[in-house]
Structure 1
Amino acid sequence: MTGLSKSKIYQLIASGDIEAAKVGRATVVFVDSLRSFLRSHCKQPRSRA
């Protein structure tokens, strides 16, 4: 979905770039946090002229 590996997602959580919480044994990523991160790190596609 994001193009990022599971280990990269965990690195981003550990560094504080993405917010997440533990629910039992599962790690739940907050959608707003993930969207914000992706928007700020995405490059705009070049137009074909």
Structure 2
Amino acid sequence: MNPIMGLSKTQDWEVHMIEHQLGAYMDCAHGMGLAAISLPYYRYIYISLV
């Protein structure tokens, strides 16, 4: 979450927002939620672009 590294680059924070919604319903650590969501989400995005 370093804003300097993201300058002039396209950023995708959707997984982060989805995890916040998941965290509102489930009692899980933020990092665990991100780990559980990231791979399926990015796999879905990759398949839909190909």
* TM-score grouping bracket, smaller chain normalisation: 0.3 to 0.5
* Structure having the larger proportion of residues in helix: 2
In proportion to residue count, which structure has more strand? 1
